[in-house]
Amino acid sequence: MDWYWVVVGLLVIVGFVGLLVPILPGIVFIFSGLLLAAWLDDFSRVSEVTMMVIGLLSLMAWAIDFFASYFTAKKANASKLALFGVMIGALVGILGGVVGLIIGPVIGAVIGEFIARKNSGDAVRVGVAAGLGFLLALVVKLVLAIMITSIFAYAYLY
């Protein structure tokens, strides 16, 4: 059973990396690792109720991740090409590490919006909104991930 604990650790670590990398569902990995850890102890240290609370927080983090960029871009009246540019920019930005993940969606949104509307002012506004949406989602996900792991650690240790 010791290798299960290695899997738990890897899932949680990959989950925290996934908070920065849009392709990896970070919160899902963290929750899966914690659920496996609770299951390994037959939910004796971390109860089912605690895991349900952690599950709800995980669901909230996933929803925020999904909707934050959408709502900030929509609030800035982004075109469909700008939203497509955000996705392409995020994928290309992965190659540039954390900085690329922030700048990629912004550049993608600016290019998409400029192609759609031919207005540099609109393009910059949408790009800034995309960047702020990504940063907002990142901060909220990180806070929720720390809360989730802290709740689990407290329940497991005490």
Instruction: State the pLDDT at residue 48.
Output: 95
Q: What is the pLDDT of residues 112-158, one digit of tens each?
A: 888 888 888 878 888 888 778 878 888 999 999 999 999 999 999 99
The pTM (predicted TM-score) of the whole model is: 0.76
Q: Write down the number of H helices and E strands in the chain.
A: 6, 0
pLDDT value, residue 108: 84
In this predicted structure, the answer to whether residue 36 has a pLDDT above a threshold of 80 is: yes
Whether 105 and 92 have beta carbons less than 8 Å apart is answered as no
pLDDT average, residue stretch 16-30: 84
pLDDT at site 126: 83
Mean pLDDT (whole number) for 75-80: 80
pLDDT at 1 exceeding the cut of 70: no
**Average of per-residue pLDDT values in the chain:** 86
What mean pLDDT do residues 18-37 have? 88
Read off the pLDDT band of 98 (50, 70, 90): low
Question: What span, in angstroms and rounded, lies between the C-alpha atoms of 61 and 53?
Answer: 12
Of 21, 36, 149, 151, give the one whose Cα is nearest residue 95. Answer: 21
CB distance 60 to 45 below 8 Å: no
- Among 100, 129, 97, smallest CA distance to 112 is for 129
The whole-number pLDDT of residue 22 equals: 66
Mean pLDDT of 96-115: 80
- Mean pLDDT along residues 57-80: 79
* Helix, strand, coil abundance in the chain, percent, nearest 5: 85, 0, 15
